[in-house]
Amino acid sequence: MKKILIVEDDQIVANIYRNKFSVEGFQVEVALDGSVGMELMRSFRPDAVILDLMLPKVTGVELMKQIRAEAEFEKLPVIVLSNTYLTGMLQDAWKAGATKCLSKANCTPKQVIDIVLTELSGNGKAPGGSLPGPSYLRRPVNDARPTTAVGDAQFQTDLRKSFIESLPAALSALRGLLQGTIKAENEAVRLKQISELNRRIHSLSANAGITGMLQIAQMAEAVEALLKELYEKPKNINASTLRTVAAAVDFLGVLFQRGVLPANQEIPDANILVIDDEAISRRAVTYALEKAKLKCVSVEDPVAAYTMLSETKFDLIFLDVDMPGMTGFELCTKLRTLPAHKKTPVIFVTSLNDFENRTNSTMSGGTDFIAKPFLFIELAVKALVYVLRGRLEKGK
């Protein structure tokens, strides 16, 4: 019987993986933090490890380094499950010796099990691109354990039902923590609220991914990354970032009602236009959208942009204010006369962050406002809210 160690701080997620691996005939142990994880590595001596990166006490990356520092674990398969927006941590995990890195929001337990079986069979690549370690037998062909497609489908149905039933309580908790964050009397209290909000969103993202609620998972994953950024860099906590978190939590409430429907599980493609005469600024917005897996077209000339808008329907527009030939306010007023763009969300991205310009952005038909310099992940969260909301509206 092969041994699996699951290092995951979310008890619900850990139990789901424990049950699935147990059904497959594995002996399973769970560690809810990195410190206990290392203790079990030495006492339990697993054949493979499932590792979350966001762990208390000892992070997943730190644990990975400790694992690889011991000769007997040098080629042990370690499958990382994490948030795809945390690119820095994922890169550190690869460098530390991760065998594979998977997205929690887009990977089911069955897929994780299949990957572990592949690694244990010797068909996977060991860390660092070296040759595979010893070969292990995969699940026997005549194994009678309930691993049929019917069993998996029923398990997924039951799991999804439980998840949906938990959403009202989850939303209430998120809103309470958000209010506590906004009304916090000092930075210490605010950071405590943000940390707990981040923990709840982290759990939501993982559970949504496991149950196949892809839009909820994608939205929660992005919000989790933004909250992590705010917790680690409190100087970025301001009116703009708090408004973005509040808008995202409100929209999660919408997804909890409509994002659970079978027709709303695909991640929609989006046609986004970025208009800014500064090349560096255009590239920054484009990069932020790429983090959210959203493609865009960028234009520097506002006149050329208006021609493009006259000919093409866009789902979302990012617009600078101070541009030669035509200001962003003027362009926004003009595009609102186009039948295809009367209601298209327009987000102004500008360093002109005073009250007058905020008022002008609204008067010209703007939908939202984000000040330069902005956090990449904040812009990504805003974009996801508008793109996913737009697709839900179209699906009415």
Neighbours of 269 (CB within 10 A): 11
Coil, strand or helix at 98: coil
- CA 391 from centroid of its chain's CA atoms: 19
Coil, strand or helix at 352: coil
Q: Could you tell me the pLDDT band of residue 289, with boundaries at 50, 70 and 90? A: very high
pLDDT at position 291, please?
85
Of 56-65, 153-162, 230-239, the one with minimum mean pLDDT is 153-162
Looking at per-residue pLDDT, the higher value among 182 and 104 belongs to 182
pLDDT at position 135, please?
30
Q: Could you tell me the pLDDT band of residue 395, with boundaries at 50, 70 and 90? A: low
Going by C-beta distance under 8 Å and a sequence separation of 6 or more, which residues neighbour residue 361? 321, 328, 329, 332, 348, 369
Amino acid at position 86, single letter: L
- Nearest Cα neighbor of 386 from 364, 362, 367 is 367
Domains in the chain, CATH or no CATH each: 3-147 (3.40.50.2300), 155-263 (1.20.120.160), 268-394 (3.40.50.2300)
Going by C-beta distance under 8 Å and a sequence separation of 6 or more, which residues neighbour residue 262? none
Which run of H or of E encompasses 87? helix 87-96
- pLDDT tens digits along 206-260: 889 888 888 999 999 999 999 999 999 999 998 889 999 999 999 999 999 988 8
Q: Please, are residues 285 and 375 in contact by the beta-carbon 8 Å criterion?
A: no
Residue 302 pLDDT > 50? yes
Burial zone of 142 (CB within 10 Å; 0-12 exposed, 13-18 middle, 19+ buried):
exposed
pTM of the model: 0.79
Residue 74 pLDDT > 50? yes
Q: Could you tell me the pLDDT band of residue 388, with boundaries at 50, 70 and 90? A: very high
CA end-to-end span of the chain, whole Å?
A: 51
Beta strands 272-275 and 3-7 are: unpaired
pLDDT over 70, % of the chain: 88
Beta strands 100-103 and 78-82 are: parallel
- Nearest Cα neighbor of 146 from 19, 260, 7, 317 is 19
pLDDT at position 283, please?
94
Q: What is the mean pLDDT of residues 20-49?
A: 94
Q: Which two tokens stand for residue 388?
A: 């996913």
- Nearest Cα neighbor of 291 from 31, 85, 14, 55 is 85
To 10 degrees, the CA torsion angle through 131, 134, 139, 141? 90
Q: Could you tell me the pLDDT band of residue 190, with boundaries at 50, 70 and 90? A: very high
Looking at per-residue pLDDT, the higher value among 69 and 87 belongs to 69
Residue 133 pLDDT > 60? no
317, HSE (Cβ side, Cα atoms, 13 Å):
31
Mean pLDDT, the chain, whole residue set: 87
pLDDT at position 264, please?
67
Q: Which two tokens stand for residue 56?
A: 């208390």
- Distance in angstroms (rounded) separating the CA atoms of residues 206 and 13: 7
Which run of H or of E encompasses 131? none
Residue 140 pLDDT > 70? no
